[in-house]
């Protein structure tokens, strides 16, 4: 059998939970919990690895994601970063410990003209959006 090789890409992905979690099947709900996405309009920043990519494909009908640039990430941490207690799981950024998620506002002018039940490719809000995630995150700050 041929082995498949995963190319290791660098960078970070911003993942935003677009839809609520009412009536979500158990495997999808567990994956969202592993990604630390507990509420609608919450955002997490994760590494761009094949393991996370598989998790994103499982929850693609509930989240949107893309490559976040350094300027947008710095603005996100500055405006929405919440300091974590010692007993909470946290991520260290610039020497300070922050909670693993960022609570955002709903986006100005909405997610997309076709709403939150359609893919981004056809004018909706779900799935991968590449560099355009930066615009969405800025509208949600």
Domain boundaries, the chain: 12-140
**35-58 confidence digits (pLDDT tens):** 999 999 999 999 999 999 999 999
Distance of CA 11 to the CA centre of its chain: 14
Q: Which range in 6-10, 85-89, 125-129 is most confidently predicted, on average pLDDT?
A: 125-129
CATH superfamily of 12-140: Ribosomal protein L30/L7 (3.30.1390.20)
38 and 49 Cβ atoms separated by less than 8 Å: no
The reported pLDDT for the residue numbered 55 is: 93
The reported pLDDT for the residue numbered 6 is: 47
Separation CA 92–CA 116 (nearest Å) = 32
The pTM assigned to this predicted structure is 0.85
Q: What is the DSSP string of 24-87?
A: --HHHHHHHHHTT--STTEEEEEE--HHHHHHHHHTTTTEEEEEPPHHHHHHHHHHH--BPPTT
């Amino acid at each position: 059998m041929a082995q498949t090789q995963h190319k290791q890409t660098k960078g970070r992905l911003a993942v935003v939970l677009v839809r609520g979690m009412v009536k979500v099947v158990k495997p999808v709900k567990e994956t969202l919990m592993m990604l630390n996405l507990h509420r609608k309009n919450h955002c997490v920043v994760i590494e761009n690895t094949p393991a996370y990519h598989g998790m994103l494909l499982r929850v693609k009908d509930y989240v949107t994601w893309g490559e976040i640039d350094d300027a947008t990430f710095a603005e996100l941490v500055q405006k929405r970063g919440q300091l974590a207690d010692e007993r909470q799981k946290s991520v260290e950024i610039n020497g300070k410990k922050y909670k693993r998620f960022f609570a955002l506002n709903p986006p100005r002018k909405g997610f997309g003209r076709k709403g939150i039940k359609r893919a981004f490719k056809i004018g909706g809000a779900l799935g991968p959006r590449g560099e355009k995630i930066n615009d969405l995150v800025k509208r949600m700050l």
